[in-house]
Amino acid sequence: MAVAIVYFVQGVLGLARLAVSFYLKDDLHLDPAETAVISGFSSLPWLIKPIYGFISDSIPLYGYRRRSYLILSGFLGTLSWSLMATVVNSKYGAGFSILLGSLSVAFSDVVVDSMVVERARGESQSTSGSLQSLCWGSSAFGGIVSAYFSGSLVDAYGVRFVFGITAFLPLMTSAVAVLVNEHRLTPGEHAMSVSGSGFIESSIQHIKQLWTSVKQPNIFLPTLFIFLWQATPHSESAMFFFMFDV
């Protein structure tokens, strides 16, 4: 249930995507180039996702490696959209808030992905496949919900109202964190995890494991393909301006 809701939140956060585009274009009067820069800047947290895994595995918060970081990610997302709904009035403030929201989603995505891997480990292929289907289905359902309401809400109430509604959605991630079945570390285990030597040793071990996995052809080649695919230019910002300027 916790995994499904976290993925649903990731999908339904698209509620603010259209509002952000209109806010940058109509309220801040940014041109397509500036809008594209802010959009690209907001994707930076997704480029360093392995670091989040190192942090959550090596530095537990209050004895938890998953639950605490889900709660923190939810609060971070709420903060970012609350700023967009209230005090942000410049392109720099908008860029910072959008970056903060992207960081929230990226971190929670890493945490919940690790939960899925742990849950699927040792299970049959059909069970693992069903779990992956649940994840993507929940995210897709959230995306459908956001796509249905995003345009009508912006048209009826304005972008600030949509940002305000979106600010409540990450709290669902924080709320369902209590459903995560996770063993709390003892004070001795916690002290060992957060100690300097423990963190360094754990990080080195994770880097070695990551490199061992990535250099395998059946992982490296699909990763290279996805990199080249995502590196190609797209017309998202240009198409948005074209549709509303013609």
State mean pLDDT over 96-124: 85
**pLDDT value of residue 123:** 67
Say whether pLDDT at 196 is over 60: no
Mean pLDDT (the chain, rounded): 83
pTM of this structure: 0.82
Q: Which residue has the higher pLDDT, 50 or 172?
A: 172
Among 69-78, 165-174, 176-185, the least confident range? 176-185
Architecture of domain 2-245: Up-down Bundle (1.20)
**pLDDT value of residue 192:** 52
- Domains in the chain: boundaries: 2-245
Q: Which residue has the higher pLDDT, 246 or 54?
A: 54
Q: What b/e string do you get for 63-84 counting C-beta neighbours within 10 Å, with b at 16 or more?
A: bbbbbbbbbbbbebbbbbbbbb
**pLDDT value of residue 189:** 53
Say whether pLDDT at 195 is over 70: no
State mean pLDDT over 73-98: 93
State mean pLDDT over 121-144: 79
State mean pLDDT over 67-79: 92
- Please check whether residue 180 is in contact with residue 49, taking contact to mean a CB–CB distance below 8 angstroms: no
State mean pLDDT over 67-71: 89
